[in-house]
Each structure stands twice: as C-alpha cells, then as structure tokens.
Amino acid sequence: MTYGVLASGGPNCHLFSGCGFPAPGAEIFQFDAILSFSIGSLQFNISKVTFLLFLAVVLILGFFGYAFRKPKLVPRGAQSVGEMGYLFIRDGIVRETIGKGGDKFIPFLFTFFFMVWILNFWGIVPGAQIPVTSIFAIPVAFAVIVYLLWVPLGMIKQGPIGFFKNIMFPPGVPKAMYVLLTPIELISNLLVRPFTHAVRLFANMFAGHLLLATFSVAAFYLLSFSVIGLLGSAASFGLSILLTGFEAFIQGLQAYIFTLLAAVYIGSALHAEH
C-alpha cells in the first residue's frame, strides 16, 4: 500500500502538481534497524527484513511441526498439504536429479525450497511487502551453504584429485579442446556457479519488487483530476495487480530453480560422470 511513497515524493506529490515522478530506487531495499546489539566487534542490526526472516523460520517450523506431529497412514488436513510438499521435493527434485541415493539430502533441499519460497512470498504479503531474498546477503548466505556442501562432498566421494580431474577434464571431448575447456570448466564450476546461484535468485526478486513498486508509485502519482491522470493511474493500478499475480508465480519458480540447482550440484558431486 505504501510502496516507496514514504521514501519518495510525499503524500501530495501528484501529476501536474509541479512534482516530478518519484521513481523508486535502491532506497526501497534499505530498512532502518529496529534493534541493534553487538557480539564482540560485530554489530547486528535487526530490521524489518530480519524480523520477516525469523517470522519465516517460525512459520515453517510451526507449520511442518504441526503437520507432521503425529503422521497418520491416511493423511488429512495439514498433513496432506505437508506431504504434498515433501513428495514434491522427493519425487520432483531429489529423485529426478540425484536419484534414489539422494534421499538423505531431502531435509536439506526441503529446507531450502520452503525457506526461499516463503522469503520470496513476503514480497506480496500486505504489510510485509519486501521479498527477503531481494536483500543480497540472504541469497549469498544460502548459496554459500550449498557450495560448502557440494564441494567437500565431491572431494570425499571422488577423492580430491578425482574431483578436480572430473571438473577440469569432462569426458567425451577431443584432447586438444581441453586447452580451451579446462580453464572455462574450472572457472564456471568453482567460481561462477555459486555467484550465479545467488544472483539469479536475488536479481529476480529485486527486479520484481522494483517493478511492483514502480507501478504502485505510478498509480499514486498519476492520480489527479485529469483524464490522462485517471486513465494512467487506473492502468498502473491494474498492472500492479497483474504483476502481483505474476510475482506470485515467479516466487515459486525461483524457489524451485534455486533448490533444483542445489540438487544438481549435489548430484554432480555424487556422480562423477557429468
């Protein structure tokens, strides 16, 4: 309801009122600290984003704790919904990419999917209206966790030398090509991979949120007693509603992609032939 309005032109800034369009920018991703404390030399700032992050933690643990508290053989209510989530991760992601041997990674990937999804989902929840994953540190933290799992896992499963050998010398390629391929593979797998893993999620949520904010601000800004203003305002409002629906889809999709990629990385660590 107040996308960027507070941060921009103020309550009386409308078209033809001598006020330029207060386009929302990076400032809508900045939140003041509600609470600050220090551990050692490190200062922790608890802001709206941090609060939403821990609210998500509570919601996820609360829902699945409740849904799976006493699972019945014949599921009903929350258990049915929770099971759908579990089976989606198990059959749709883990067994598709890793195979049945990947079942022990289900809790890990399950956590990722629902964390990312709920954190994305805050973007369209009235009152929250900020996807926590559009704060770069959060996707980075998640991508680092995935990276710190699959790299050591690959070294254990394939041996440290085998791990690097399999990354640098992909099979089925003419020997001369390795001159070109080996540096690319090394950089793309070990350096670019975690970066794109984090940025893909971040940039999608960031751009989506900015888009929503822009149209919401425009709807407010264009609201003036003129034909062009009313039409433009109505169109912007309609678009912001449409985009909210679109965002809902993107949020689920990005959570799926993030989890799927994590599963693919784990799979590549388990099975050398890739």
Partner 1 sequence: MNVLTAVLAAGEAGEEMPSVLAVPVDEFIIGLIAFLIVFGGLAKFALPKIKETLDERANLIEGGLERASIAEAEAAEVLVQYKTQLAGAREEASGIRTQAQADRTAIIEEARSEARTAAASVTSAAEASMAAERAQAVSALTKQVGELAITLADKIVGETLADDARVRATVDAFIADLEGAR
Of 132 and 167, which CB lies nearer to partner 1 in the complex structure?
132
Binding segment (CB under 8 A) for partner 1, from list 69-77, 123-131, 171-179, 226-234: 69-77
Q: Is residue 30 involved in binding partner 1 (CB under 8 A)? A: yes
Q: For partner 1, which residue of 82, 102, 131, 194 counts as binding (CB under 8 A)? A: 82
Binding segment (CB under 8 A) for partner 1, from list 22-30, 163-171, 217-225, 246-254: 22-30
Of 68 and 164, which CB lies nearer to partner 1 in the complex structure?
68
- The CB-of-121 to partner 1 minimum distance in angstroms stands at 15
Backbone angles phi, psi at 37, to 5 degrees: -150, 165
Backbone angles phi, psi at 36, to 5 degrees: -130, 140
Size of the site for partner 1 (CB under 8 A): 53
42-61: contacts with partner 1 (CB under 8 A): 42-45, 49-50, 53-54, 56-57, 60-61
Q: For partner 1, which residue of 19, 140, 235, 257 counts as binding (CB under 8 A)? A: 140
Q: Is residue 77 involved in binding partner 1 (CB under 8 A)? A: no
- The CB-of-225 to partner 1 minimum distance in angstroms stands at 31
Could you tell me the CA-to-CA distances from 138 to 43, 53, 198, 211 in Å, in that order?
A: 17, 9, 8, 20
48-67 and 78-87 are packed helices; what angle lies between their axes, rounded to 10 degrees? Answer: 100
Of 17 and 30, which CB lies nearer to partner 1 in the complex structure?
30
* Burial (CB count <10 Å: 0-12, 13-18, 19+), residue 43: exposed
Q: For partner 1, which residue of 1, 12, 26, 100 counts as binding (CB under 8 A)? A: 26
Q: For partner 1, which residue of 13, 21, 22, 29 counts as binding (CB under 8 A)? A: 29
- The CB-of-142 to partner 1 minimum distance in angstroms stands at 6
Q: For partner 1, which residue of 84, 125, 137, 184 counts as binding (CB under 8 A)? A: 137
Six-digit token pair at 53? 């992050």
Identify the bridge partners of residue 45 per DSSP, sorted by sequence position: 36
CA distance linking residue 160 with residue 107, whole number of Å:
26
Q: For partner 1, which residue of 5, 94, 115, 151 counts as binding (CB under 8 A)? A: 115
**What is the helix, strand, coil percentage profile of the chain, to 5?**
70, 5, 25
b/e map 221-236, b = 16+ CB within 10 Å: bbbeeeeebeebbeeb
CA distance linking residue 45 with residue 256, whole number of Å:
30
- The CB-of-57 to partner 1 minimum distance in angstroms stands at 5
Quote the radius of gyration of the chain (alpha carbons, Å).
23
168-227: contacts with partner 1 (CB under 8 A): 203, 206-207, 210-211
Identify the bridge partners of residue 42 per DSSP, sorted by sequence position: 39
Q: Which of 195, 96, 91 is nearest to 143 (CA)?
A: 195
Which residues sit at the interface with partner 1, rule CB under 8 A? 25-27, 29-30, 42-45, 49-50, 53-54, 56-57, 60-61, 64-65, 67-73, 79, 82-83, 86-87, 106-108, 110-112, 114-115, 135-138, 140-142, 144-145, 203, 206-207, 210-211
